[in-house]
């Protein structure tokens, strides 16, 4: 596909469980970003990758959140010991390095029950 | 990054111009103004950006005041599909790094 792909589109998990959210960026985009969005709020920055390395992870709320991008393409956001407050839409975006425009995926709606 | 202020919501009639204001009175000389929008249940979509000159593309026009303390996004002929939340963001550098989204302006275009 031509756009940023996120899977799954919806995820329901029980409190305390571990979840992984996947992002397939646009081919050739070296920059990749994770955001999360709670109802009625704007997207909140989590982490930014340049290639395989995390260039800015200042938005990760605590050490239960971790993200990887081992080959500089697909990225996985991992959440341990999920809490009800983690319920949100998790958005991924990618861009060419230095480009003004970033392309967002449709997001993964995570619900922790 | 400088903080922005936008109205919470606006209405516009279909076919009319939608003018969305944004105040960014603390903007620095090297900060750009970006606009993104988010249609319901979709990820944000880039619209336009500028530094100090007015900009136009196929989606919209961006008018930045001479003192750069405010700007206006103009959708010249709004359609129902333009109903969305519009975010005005200011940030240093041209590349895409940490965009700080506020709560935006919810634009409702009606028939």
Identify the residue whose tokens are 């240093």. B92
Q: How many residue contacts between A and B have a Cβ separation below 8 Å?
A: 62
Residue B84 has pLDDT above 70, yes or no: yes
Return mean pLDDT, chain B.
Answer: 92
**Each residue of A27-45: pLDDT tens digit?**
999 999 999 999 989 999 9
Residue B1 has pLDDT above 70, yes or no: no
Tokens of B32: 């750009």
* Partners of residue A104 in chain B, C-beta under 8 Å: 42-45
A99 at the B interface (CB within 8 A)?
yes
* Partners of residue B103 in chain A, C-beta under 8 Å: 40-42
Tokens of B89: 């963001």
Using CB atoms and an 8 Å cut-off, which of residues 18-77 of chain B contact chain A?
A: 32, 34, 38, 41-46, 49
Please give the pLDDT value at position A16. Answer: 98
- What is the three-class DSSP state of A5? strand
**Each residue of A43-90: pLDDT tens digit?**
999 999 999 999 899 999 999 999 999 999 999 999 999 999 999 999
Question: Region B71-96: what's the mean pLDDT?
Answer: 89
Q: Residue A99: is it exposed, middle or buried by C-beta count within 10 angstroms (0-12/13-18/19+)? A: middle
Question: Region A11-29: what's the mean pLDDT?
Answer: 97
Q: Are B35 and B100 in contact (CB under 8 A)?
A: no
Q: Taking CB atoms and an 8 Å limit, are A107 and B34 in contact across chains?
A: no
Question: Region B29-57: what's the mean pLDDT?
Answer: 93
Please give the pLDDT value at position B19. Answer: 98
């Amino acid at each position: 596909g031509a756009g940023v792909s996120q899977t799954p589109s919806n995820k329901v998990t029980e409190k305390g469980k571990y979840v992984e959210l996947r992002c397939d960026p646009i081919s050739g985009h070296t920059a990749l970003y994770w955001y999360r969005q709670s109802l009625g709020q704007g997207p909140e920055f989590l982490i930014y990758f340049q290639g395989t390395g995390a260039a800015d992870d200042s938005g990760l709320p605590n050490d239960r959140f971790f993200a990887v991008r081992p080959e500089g393409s697909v990225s996985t956001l991992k959440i341990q010991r999920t809490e009800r407050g983690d319920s949100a839409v998790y958005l991924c975006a990618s861009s060419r390095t230095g480009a003004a425009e970033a392309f967002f995926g449709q997001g993964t709606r995570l619900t922790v029950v | 990054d400088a903080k922005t202020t936008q109205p919470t919501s606006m209405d516009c009639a279909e076919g009319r111009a939608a003018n969305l204001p944004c105040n960014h009175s603390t903007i620095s000389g090297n900060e750009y103004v970006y606009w993104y929008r988010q249609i319901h249940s979709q990820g944000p979509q880039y619209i336009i950006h500028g530094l100090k000159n007015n900009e136009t593309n196929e989606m919209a026009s961006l008018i930045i005041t001479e003192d750069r303390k405010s700007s206006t996004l103009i959708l010249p002929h709004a359609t129902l599909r333009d109903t969305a939340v519009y975010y005005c963001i200011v940030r240093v550098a041209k590349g895409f790094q940490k965009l700080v989204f506020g709560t935006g302006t919810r634009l409702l275009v009606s028939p």
